[in-house]
Structure 1
């Protein structure tokens, strides 16, 4: 058995079905297991944890921002690990690290009191620095490494059918993520926030065993080919040439890398900022909290529909069309954001919000292996992931600063339109480098 199957009893070559479909299932579960390190998973803990630590909402949010920014600065290294050691070991250690971080988070009050006693101080800085450090580990291992490794391993096992399998994975993840606050909050109310974090840690430790057993780095390491193709005899001699395998540095020299990366980062920035301040954004235009919250369900329906349809079609269409459709979604969202109180404001915002989210699910998975190959996929996606994490970290304070300085969020809408115009012009020659 090859070294890549060490500690595993599973042989992909003996699977009764193409093993890539097993990778699709287990990889999707892996992304779902990153929820404790995602904003949607952390946000449910905000109120009980900040109160227990004696932090204000701003202090807690700033600790989260600092931890997220720091994780964005080093996530590129995890991409290099992915290329060197493979998805299996990287995802395994990411799950273990995330589980350990969750256990430490559940002990954060005790750790904070211990440090205060040891340093003989009584200041908010102790829990602030402690939570910033814990958030760094949570974001790095959860949102960063586990998500990247799990998504990439699915893409590596497919080529021609990459869009179809990503459609299945994206829809499952969308429903899983959107429902997670409900069951996480139910656990917190039933068992306390400390026990909930410990339960999630145990679940991750159990899943790490499945990672070690079922994650397989590449089909070629097991005598297989992407999509389950079988080439023999004359077919081998007529096999089409292998696409060029770009390194991360080579990829960054292409225009496509920056244009696609920047529109994905714009999505991360805009969606995070709007979600974080949605009640305040709507209140500034005279709407109620119920009006603000009501945009998420229809926007999710649009996003899931777009993701499902265009993931399937991505195996047949040029991705540059998708890039411009995503830019169009951003323009719609920005216009709706600017003219929220007008009759077309909320429908435009919902439509643009959904289009951005839908095409994000397609492009973030499909672009990089199709444009740059699979050999250095980890380093390339790690760099892109740093853009996304940095955008999500900077959005809440920038939105807040804009409102506190100008008394309105509208400046961000105008800046968004300028940025999208730049992307639209810059993307004219953002062609597939293959």
Structure 2
């Protein structure tokens, strides 16, 4: 982390030159608004984070259990420790994002994620080699420790920095059209996330789980970092542009609606400390965190949940396809609506459908309830994909968006860490996931209570 913090100050002139906003081309010289390029790059960055997301890890879960000899609860706990640890690092990552800029951070996150995937692909062999060297009867304990280390790195680089950098960058380039841009992004993100388990499952069928991770490591570590360096720019102002591609009228934000301080330009935004003092921040964060917890728990154990319902793996994983269709349509609609209406009712829609969808997942063997789960998870997933990009910049401005998003992302990552362990505990104690899914379906109801009480963002 010290290296990251000092790189912008001590890097040699040639390296600094490569990360100048005008190199290798100047965005303000293009015949169209560069924000649309940022939209495409941001979408690409979030999709590239899938191997570091639970939905990308889920299809590798049973393979890791086989080669390491760990129990499902032990693997879930390793994922829990790794994810919580990575989440605690994200506020620092958010502050570095504000300081170093999105372009450098996206390159570093992509390379980091690629190296992590390569490490995880051979972690079981490393554990076996170390066990033989130490003359241990079993390699399970060492495998557990190595997986914890791998999950820390995987979640920090993938779910954390790659995702956060992409989303916050999009929020800096759009204002009046932010919801529309986020909705367009949500079309591809929702669909990509939903079909990822099916794609990875078939990929594994061709190459095997180990070579699938290695091939993803090459694509992300080299390809994504190169695209990120070429296309990402931190904000329109550094490129001589303005948000939405227009010259906006001066608009003052009265931060007294947030912290009681004097009026300031909206572009400046509020500090992280000011944002953390508001109910709005915690209501939004809890609403998104419940989605992260429940969906992460479900996707991590999706194959086993389907097995309990009497469904084969291919049929269980295929449930994400109709979810993708619903999420895609809803994500775009929510994006358009967020430019025209208050965010509070949109969060309410997400909470209600999440509760219904999670409860219905407990009965996948019933066709009608399986489709209700598709509807609930599809609608809530579409809302989540868009609202995570829209809410923070609307409420708190852009100046400290990375630092504020870092705290929120920490909360989401920690919540996502709890999901697999909670469901694994219910399965181990009660022999099924049913009660665990029912318990998780109550969480969005609690979050809805906070959402109802939060105020409006500036300008609404």
TM-score over 0.5 for the pair? yes
Alpha carbons 1:7, 1:213 under 8 Å: kept:
no
Q: 2:101 aligns to what SS in structure 1?
A: helix
In structure 1, C-alpha distance between the alignment counterparts of 2:318 and 2:274, rounded to whole Å? 44
In structure 2, C-alpha distance between the alignment counterparts of 1:379 and 1:70, rounded to whole Å? 18
Alpha carbons 2:179, 2:335 under 8 Å: kept:
yes
Q: 2:251 aligns to what SS in structure 1?
A: coil
Map 1:348-387; keep pairs closer than 5 Å. 348-387=372-411
TM-score by length of 2: 0.83
Partner of 2:146: 130
Map 1:225-264; keep pairs closer than 5 Å. 225-230=242-247, 239-241=250-252, 242-243=265-266, 245-264=269-288
Q: Does 1:313 align with 2:337?
A: yes
Partner of 2:255: none
Change (3 A) 1:50 1:343: closer
Any stretches of 5+ residues in structure 1 without a counterpart? 232-237
Change (3 A) 1:299 1:423: same
TM-score by length of 1: 0.88
Q: Does 1:69 align with 2:84?
A: yes
Map 1:257-276; keep pairs closer than 5 Å. 257-276=281-300
Q: Does 1:177 align with 2:201?
A: no
In structure 1, C-alpha distance between the alignment counterparts of 2:434 and 2:208, rounded to whole Å? 39
Alpha carbons 1:49, 1:193 under 8 Å: kept:
no
CA offsets per residue over residues 86-119 of structure 1, 9 Å max, x none? 1111111111111121222233244223322443
Q: 1:121 aligns to what SS in structure 2?
A: coil
Change (3 A) 1:116 1:294: closer
Judge which range, 105-114 or 250-259, deviates more.
105-114
CA offsets per residue over residues 50-78 of structure 1, 9 Å max, x none? 43344444433332332122111212211
Partner of 1:167: 183
Alpha carbons 1:335, 1:345 under 8 Å: kept:
no
Q: Work out which of the residue numbers 331, 337, 353 in structure 2 matches 1:329.
A: 353
Q: 1:96 aligns to what SS in structure 2?
A: helix
Change (3 A) 1:201 1:289: closer
Change (3 A) 1:341 1:146: closer
Partner of 1:91: 106
Runs of 4+ in 1 over 6 A off after TM superposition: 338-344
Cα offset, 1:341, TM superposition: 8.1
- What's the RMSD between the two structures over aligned residues? 2.9
In structure 2, C-alpha distance between the alignment counterparts of 1:338 and 1:51, rounded to whole Å? 26
In structure 1, C-alpha distance between the alignment counterparts of 2:202 and 2:373, rounded to whole Å? 31
Partner of 2:3: none
Partner of 2:173: 157
Q: Does 1:208 align with 2:208?
A: no
Cα offset, 1:83, TM superposition: 1.1
In structure 1, C-alpha distance between the alignment counterparts of 2:128 and 2:302, rounded to whole Å? 35
Cα offset, 1:7, TM superposition: 9.2
Judge which range, 154-163 or 299-308, deviates more.
299-308
In structure 1, C-alpha distance between the alignment counterparts of 2:310 and 2:204, rounded to whole Å? 30
Alpha carbons 2:191, 2:327 under 8 Å: kept:
no
